[in-house]
Amino acid sequence: MEFEKIKTEQQLIDRMSHCAKCLDLKFHCEPGKKAIAVCGGTGCLASDSMGILEKFQELIKEHGLEDKVTVNIVGCFGFCSQGPFVKVYPEETLYTKVKTKDVEEIFNTDILKNEVVTRLLFVDPQTKEHVQKQHDIAFYKLQKRDIALHGNGEINPEDLSEALGYGAFKGLVRALHMTRKEVINEVLQAGLRGRGGAGFPTGKKWSFVPDTDEPKYIICNGDEGDPGAFMDRSIIEGNPCAVIEGMMIAGYAIGAENGYFYVRAEYPTAVARLRKAIKELEDVGLLGDNILGTGFNFRCHVRLGAGAFVCGEETALINSIEGKRGMPRPRPPFPAVKGLWGHPSCVNNVETLACVPYILREGWEKFAAIGTADTKGTKVFALGGKVNNVGLVEVPMGTTLRQLIYDIGGGIPGNKKFKAIQTGGPSGGCLTEKDLDTPIDFGSLVAAGSMMGSGGAIVMDEDNCMVDVAKFYMTFICDESCGKCSPCRIGTKRCLDILTKICDGKGTPEDLEELRELSSFIRSNSLCALGQTATNPIESTMKSFADEYEAHVVDHKCPAHVCKNLMEYYIVPDKCAGCTLCSRNCPVNAIHVTDDPAKLPNRFIHHINQNLCIKCGSCLAGCRFGAIIKR
C-alpha cells in the first residue's frame, strides 16, 4: 500500500490503527472472503513455495475472485520437516507438504466449496488423526512464538502495513518518551541477555558505551555461521521490521545515529527483505532525520559478510565492515569504547534485537515473567539432526532438553536410541541421556558441559560415532580459523590430525592424553572465543563417551560402524538369496560368488573381498533380503 510521510507520533498511531483493522480482516475475513498465506521461509522457497503462490494467483484471476480471495507470502512457520505450508483464513486450516500440483485441489475444495482437503492436513503420529489447526499440533503446543519470532508465519514480511498492523514501532514510540538511561534500565530489569552465545546482559552492554558527543554505532550481527543454524536468517526473513525497530531502540539508548546490519551473503532472501524494509521506512520517514518530530535521527545500512565463521566475533565483524580482513583484535579496548572506525560501538545479534521491541511494547515485567531466575524470556533454536520434527522453535527459558527433543521434536526417527544433543555449535558440547532434564538456560547448560550458543541444537542417535562428530567439528574449526594466533591455527590442526588418526584405526592411548593437553592449552591461550571454545566438542565427547574413544584406540573398532577403516561390510550366508544385485552394484567388483553346494545346495552365496571393498555402502543399500550388515 502507498504511504504518506509519517511526521508525527499521532500520524503513526493513526496509521497503525488503520493497518491493524486491515490485518484483522485478513485473519477474520468477512463472510464469503478468504485469505491464503504461503510459507516464504528459505526451506519452503527451495521447495517451490513461490510456484505455489503463483498458481494460487493464477486461479484467483481465472475465477475473477480478486476482490474475495487474497494470497500472500509470510515468514517461516517453523515446522520445516512438514513444509511447504499453506494456511487458509478465516478457518486457519493449515496444509502441510503442499506441492504445486496440490494447489488446484485446495482452491476447488477449500476456497470454492469451503471444504477441507483432509489428505494435506498434518497427521498426529500418536493418534493417527488429522489435525486442522496449527495450535493443535504438538510441535507448537510448548512454544511461545510471539517474542523473537513475533509475526513469523502470520504477516507478509514485505508489506510494511502488515508489520504496523501487528504492532511494529509501538516499542519505539514508548522508548522515545523515555530518557536513554530509562530505556537501558527497562532492558536491564527485563533480564534480557545476549542471544548470540555469551549471554551477557544486554542493558549492561549498552550502558558501557560512553555518553559523549562523538559518533556511535549500533551493529547487528547476522553472520550466523554455526553448522545447522538458521535462527537469525528466519527472524529477518519473517519480520525484518522487528529487528530494525530493535536496532533503532538500541541506537536511541546509546546515542547512535547509524546502525549496521552485517548479514552473510548466503542469505539472499533475508538481505532482500531487509533492504526493502529499510527503503520503505526511509520513504515514510520512520528512518532518517527527526523521526516522528522527536529530534531522533537514525539510519540503517547493510553490509554483506563473505561467510567467515570467525566474523561472528565482534571485533572480527567490525574489521570486516571496515573493509579489512575479518580477524579479531586484542581486547581491551572493547568495542563499546573503541569499535567501528575507532568510535564507541555496540554489537548485538539478530535475536537479541528482535526481543527488544517486545520489552518496550509490553513492559519489562511481562518479559521477566517468562523463563528462569537466571535467564529470562525465550530462546529460538534450530532443531535438527536425528529428530522427527526438524524446524525452528521458540521456547520459554527453562524448557528441558527432554521437552525440546521429545515433546516438540517428536523423538528419534525409527525409534532409535537417543545418544546426544550438541548445543552451541562448534563452541558447545555434547549432552547425553543423563542431561535430558536439564533446563535450557545459560547457567544450566554450562554446568552440564555445553553452552547455549546462538541456538543450534543437533540431535544424534545410536548410529552416530562421537569421535567422528568431534572430528567433524574440528574440521570446521580448522577451515574457519583466521590463523592470527598460533594456538588456534596450529593447535586445532594438530587436534584434527590426531582425531583423523584415531578414526583411521591408528590411534594410541598416548594420542588421547595429547588431545587432553592440547585442548587445555588452546582454550587458555587463543586470542578470541573461536579458539577458546574450539575444543569443547572434543572435551565433552571424551568425557561422556570415553568408551568409544577407547574402542577406537584399543580395540580398533568403531562401535557405531561409521569410521570406514574400522568397519567392514559382511554378507550373512544364511540370508543371501544369490540374486547378484550387490555384485552388479559394486563399483570396484569386490563381491564374488562362493559356490558351496555342500552347505546350501542350489544357492550361490556371495562374499565381499575386504581388500578391495571401498566401504561405499552400495551393497547394503541395494540388498532386498537384509543379508548385508556392517560389523
Looking at residue 625, which CATH number applies to its domain? 3.30.70.20
pLDDT at 595: 59
Specify the DSSP class assigned to residue 434.
Answer: G
What is the gyration radius of the CA atoms in the chain, in angstroms? 27
- In this structure, what CATH number is given to the domain that contains residue 209? 3.40.50.11540
Q: In this structure, what C-alpha cell is assigned to residue 131?
A: 489435525
Q: Are residues 293 and 236 in the same domain?
A: yes
Assess whether pLDDT exceeds 60 at residue 565.
yes
Q: Are residues 229 and 352 in the same domain?
A: yes
Task: Kindly state whether residue 25 falls inside one of the protein's structural domains.
Answer: no
Distance CA 526, CA 517 (A): 14
Task: Kindly state whether residue 304 falls inside one of the protein's structural domains.
Answer: yes
* pTM for the whole structure: 0.93
35-92 pLDDT, tens digit per residue, is 999 999 999 999 999 999 999 999 999 999 999 999 999 999 999 999 999 999 999 9
428-452 average pLDDT score: 92
Q: Are residues 112 and 214 in the same domain?
A: no
pLDDT at 456: 87
269-301 pLDDT, tens digit per residue, is 999 999 999 999 999 999 999 999 999 999 999
- In this structure, what CATH number is given to the domain that contains residue 419? 3.10.20.600
469-515 pLDDT, tens digit per residue, is 999 999 999 999 998 999 999 999 999 999 999 999 999 999 999 99
Among residues 299, 287, 295, 211, which one has the least CA distance to residue 255? 211
Last residue of a domain, one of 494, 523, 555: 555
Last residue of a domain, one of 425, 441, 461: 461
Residue 593 φ then ψ, to 5°: -85, 135
Q: Which tops the pLDDT comparison, 170 or 197?
A: 170
Task: Kindly state whether residue 3 falls inside one of the protein's structural domains.
Answer: no
pLDDT at 225: 83
Q: Which domain holds residue 600?
A: 568-630
The residues facing 569 across adjacent strands are 630
119-142 average pLDDT score: 95
3-class DSSP state of 512: helix
pLDDT at 386: 96
State how far the alpha carbon of 599 is from the alpha carbons of 392, 574, 596, 602, 604, in Å. 56, 10, 6, 10, 10
pLDDT at 2: 60
Last residue of a domain, one of 320, 342, 368: 368
Q: Which tops the pLDDT comparison, 352 or 595?
A: 352
Provide the angle, in degrees to the nearest 10, between the axes of the packed helices 350-362 and 231-238: 50
Assess whether pLDDT exceeds 90 at residue 452.
no
pLDDT at 597: 53
Structurally, the chain folds into a number of domains equal to 5
Query: 10 Å Cβ neighbour count for 338?
Result: 17
Say which residue the cell 511481562 belongs to. Answer: 366
Question: Do 406 and 426 form a contact (C-beta atoms < 8 A)?
Answer: no
Assess whether pLDDT exceeds 60 at residue 1.
no
3-class DSSP state of 376: strand
Q: Are residues 573 and 618 in the same domain?
A: yes
Q: Are residues 133 and 260 in the same domain?
A: no
pLDDT at 172: 97
pLDDT at 25: 86
Binned at pLDDT 50, 70 and 90, residue 426 comes out as: confident
Q: Are residues 185 and 305 in the same domain?
A: yes
Q: Are residues 538 and 597 in the same domain?
A: no
Task: Kindly state whether residue 122 falls inside one of the protein's structural domains.
Answer: yes
Question: Do 251 and 257 form a contact (C-beta atoms < 8 A)?
Answer: yes
Rounded percentage of the chain residues whose pLDDT exceeds 70: 98
Q: Are residues 346 and 414 in the same domain?
A: no
3-class DSSP state of 304: strand
Q: Are residues 456 and 470 in the same domain?
A: no
Q: Are residues 515 and 428 in the same domain?
A: no
Task: Kindly state whether residue 356 falls inside one of the protein's structural domains.
Answer: yes
How high does pLDDT run on average in the chain?
93
Task: Kindly state whether residue 22 falls inside one of the protein's structural domains.
Answer: no
119-140 average pLDDT score: 95
Distance CA 583, CA 590 (A): 7
Assess whether pLDDT exceeds 80 at residue 604.
no
Task: Kindly state whether residue 392 falls inside one of the protein's structural domains.
Answer: yes
350-359 average pLDDT score: 98
Task: Kindly state whether residue 157 falls inside one of the protein's structural domains.
Answer: no
Distance CA 548, CA 558 (A): 7
pLDDT at 603: 61
Q: Are residues 457 and 473 in the same domain?
A: no
Provide the angle, in degrees to the nearest 10, between the axes of the packed helices 231-238 and 240-254: 100
203-225 average pLDDT score: 94
3-class DSSP state of 286: coil
- In this structure, what CATH number is given to the domain that contains residue 118? 3.40.30.10
Q: Are residues 123 and 191 in the same domain?
A: no
Among residues 461, 463, 408, 387, which one has the least CA distance to residue 430? 461
Binned at pLDDT 50, 70 and 90, residue 180 comes out as: very high
309-325 pLDDT, tens digit per residue, is 899 899 999 999 999 99
